[in-house]
Amino acid sequence: MKVFVDGQYGTTGLKIHERLNQRNDVEVLSIPEEQKKDSEIRIKLMNEADIVFLCLPDQAAREALKLIINPNTRVIDSSSAFRTHDAWTYGLPELSALQRGKIANAARVSVPGCHATAFVLAINPLVQRGILPRDYPVSCHSLTGYSGGGKAFIEQYETGRFSDISDNRSHPQHYSLTLDHKHLPEMKKFTDLEFQPAFLPTVCDYYNGMVVTVPLATRLLINQPSLQEIHAALTNYYQEERFVSVIPLDDTKEISQYALDPTLSNGTNNSEILVLGNDEQVLVACRLDNLGKGSSGAAIQCMNIMLGLDEELGLILEPTK
End-to-end CA distance of the chain: 33
**Is 204 part of the annotated catalytic residue set?**
no
Exposure of 96 by Cβ count < 10 A (0-12 exposed, 13-18 middle, 19+ buried)?
middle
**Could you say which of 114, 140, 286, 302 is catalytic?**
114
Coil, helix or strand at residue 229:
helix
DSSP secondary structure of 137-200: --EEEEEEEGGGG-HHHHHHHHHT--SSSTT-TTS-EE--TTS--TTHHHHHHTTT-SS--EEE
Rg of the chain over all Cα atoms, to the nearest angstrom: 20
C-alpha 290/C-alpha 247 separation (Å) is: 19
Asked whether 283 and 277 are in contact (CB, 8 A), the reply is yes
Q: Which residues are catalytic?
A: 114
